Structure formats: structure tokens, C-alpha cells
């Protein structure tokens, strides 16, 4: 087995595991062009997976699908509109997945937002907590029957080293209805929640489901669209020069 490092690409890793990727059905959330999700979907399609492109915007899903088809004409792609900020929309998407023929082998929960101004969803939840955790939590659990149809189901939850910035505020995850909102504590909370979701999934479905919670690394993508110059400067408070986290926010 070759060693992978910072120079490894999704394509190079996919080549090593091509025999395990071919024929699998994989849902990737958050597939806007230029992001981690789009490139993940591309690499999976390149090695023969059937990829379900899930995202909030149909036009962005189609743009990614068009780009993949241009490079890989025979790519097996399916589009799924999934708005993680709305629990009703998540339920509708899950109902659609449950109607698919055949199992879902892998779900990769890549979608998310980062460092956004305070905003409530239609369900009254803080946006980052709702989109990064609650939406995926609901979606994965609703489509569990399709995952358990697979002979070797996998759930890959995209967390972040941002979990260092804040625990789940169980007594006040809404930041006093926005009055004490700190966007980086909120981001950290959402990513800690993702990890806890993974731990519980692994425990509940032990022997039936393999769960990973991962930090995907850093890159300039549209995830940082809400960040200001001051935000980038503030990141030096969180990370050492080699990219390792210094610790929780304020520690």
C-alpha cells in the first residue's frame, strides 16, 4: 500500500482503490464547482462509481455534472436537490433517495458553511449548526435503510480541526438567539457536533456500518466566501506556522 501525503490527489488515491470504487453508489453533498465535493465526485466517477450529486442549487449541481461529463463522457451521475438548512427539504430529499433501486454504499457529507454572519434557518436554528450538523444528521439517519442494504456501507462525515474552537453548547447552541453570537465559536460547535454524530453512529451500528469523521485539509474554495480580511488575520491565533491547531478558541 503506497503512502499518501500532502502531494497526493484524489485521482492518485482513487487509482489505488479503483477496484473498490467501481460499481459503488456514492452520495456526495455540497458539489458546487471548485469545491472539495465537486472534485471528490469527479475522482469517484473517474474510477467507475455511480455518483449522486447532492446540493442546494440545481444550477450548481448541473454545472458540476456538465464539467464531469465533459471530462468523463460515460460518468454515471444523478442529481439530488438537498437544502440542509431546511428540515422539510432534507426529508423530501431523503424520500427521493429511499425510492432509488439498489443500495447506497457510501455517503460523504461534504456540504457546509463557515464563519457566516448570524442567521436563523426556517426551523429557527443557527445557520452553521443547522447546515453543518443537523441537516446531515437528519439526512443520514433517514436514508439509513438504503445504507444498510449495502454489503459494506460507509459514512464519511466532513468535520474540521475547527472543532478545537468550540464544544457543543448544549445549554445554548443558539447563542441566546444571536445576542452573544461568535461565528467561530459557532463553527467550532457545528464541527464538534459532526464528530459526536460519527461516534454515536459507529456505536449504534457497530458491525454493520463503518463511520469516518475527517478533516479534509485547507484550500481556497467558496467555503470561505463569508470570510473577511480580519478573519484571515485572526486565523494566526488558531494555527501554528506548520498548520497544526494551537488549541481551543481562547485557550
Percentage above 70 pLDDT, the chain: 85
Give the global pTM. Answer: 0.88
Q: Which CATH architecture has domain 12-218+225-237?
A: 3-Layer(aba) Sandwich (3.40)
Given pLDDT bands bounded at 50, 70 and 90, which one contains residue 249? very low
Distances (CA, A) of 84 to 65, 132, 159: 20, 8, 15
pLDDT tens sequence across 141-170:
999 999 999 999 999 999 877 777 789 999
pLDDT tens sequence across 30-68:
999 988 899 999 999 999 999 999 999 999 999 999 999
Residue 159 confidence (pLDDT): 86
Residue 47 a catalytic site member:
no
Residue of 100, 173, 181, 239 marked active site: 181
pLDDT of residue 103 exceeding 60, the answer is yes
Distance (Å, whole) CA 142 – CA 107: 12
pLDDT tens sequence across 167-200:
999 999 999 999 999 998 999 999 999 999 999 9
Average pLDDT over residues 122-141: 97
Contacts of 190 (CB under 8 A, 6+ apart): 112, 128, 129, 131, 132, 133
Average pLDDT over residues 12-40: 94
Residue 85 confidence (pLDDT): 96
Residue 6 confidence (pLDDT): 78
Residue 143 confidence (pLDDT): 98
pLDDT of residue 234 exceeding 80, the answer is no
Given pLDDT bands bounded at 50, 70 and 90, which one contains residue 207? very high
pLDDT of residue 8 exceeding 90, the answer is no
Residue 164 confidence (pLDDT): 76
Residue 161 confidence (pLDDT): 76
Amino acid at each position: 500500500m503506497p503512502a499518501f501525503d500532502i502531494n497526493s490527489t484524489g485521482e492518485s488515491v482513487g487509482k489505488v482503490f479503483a477496484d473498490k470504487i467501481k460499481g459503488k453508489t456514492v452520495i456526495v453533498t455540497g458539489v458546487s464547482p471548485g469545491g472539495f465535493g465537486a472534485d471528490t465526485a469527479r475522482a469517484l466517477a473517474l474510477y467507475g462509481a455511480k455518483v449522486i450529486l447532492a446540493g442546494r442549487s440545481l444550477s450548481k449541481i448541473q454545472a458540476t455534472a456538465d464539467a464531469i461529463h465533459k471530462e468523463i463522457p460515460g460518468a454515471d451521475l444523478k442529481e439530488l436537490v438537498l437544502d440542509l438548512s431546511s428540515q422539510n427539504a432534507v426529508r423530501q430529499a431523503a424520500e427521493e433517495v429511499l425510492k432509488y433501486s439498489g443500495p447506497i454504499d457510501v455517503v460523504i457529507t461534504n456540504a457546509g458553511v463557515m464563519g457566516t454572519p448570524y442567521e436563523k434557518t426556517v426551523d429557527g436554528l443557527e445557520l452553521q449548526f443547522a447546515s453543518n450538523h443537523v441537516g446531515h444528521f437528519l439526512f443520514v439517519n433517514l436514508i439509513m435503510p438504503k445504507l444498510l442494504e449495502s454489503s459494506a456501507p460507509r459514512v464519511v462525515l466532513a468535520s474540521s480541526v475547527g472543532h478545537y474552537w468550540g464544544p457543543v453548547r448544549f445549554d445554548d447552541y443558539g447563542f441566546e438567539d444571536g445576542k452573544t453570537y461568535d461565528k467561530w465559536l459557532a463553527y467550532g460547535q457545528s464541527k464538534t457536533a459532526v464528530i459526536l454524530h460519527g461516534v454515536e453512529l459507529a456505536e449504534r451500528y457497530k458491525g454493520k456500518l463503518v463511520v469516518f469523521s475527517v478533516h479534509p485539509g485547507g484550500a481556497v474554495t467558496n467555503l470561505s466566501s463569508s470570510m473577511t480580511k480580519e478573519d484571515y488575520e485572526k486565523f494566526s491565533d488558531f494555527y501554528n506556522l506548520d498548520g497544526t491547531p494551537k488549541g481551543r478558541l481562547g485557550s
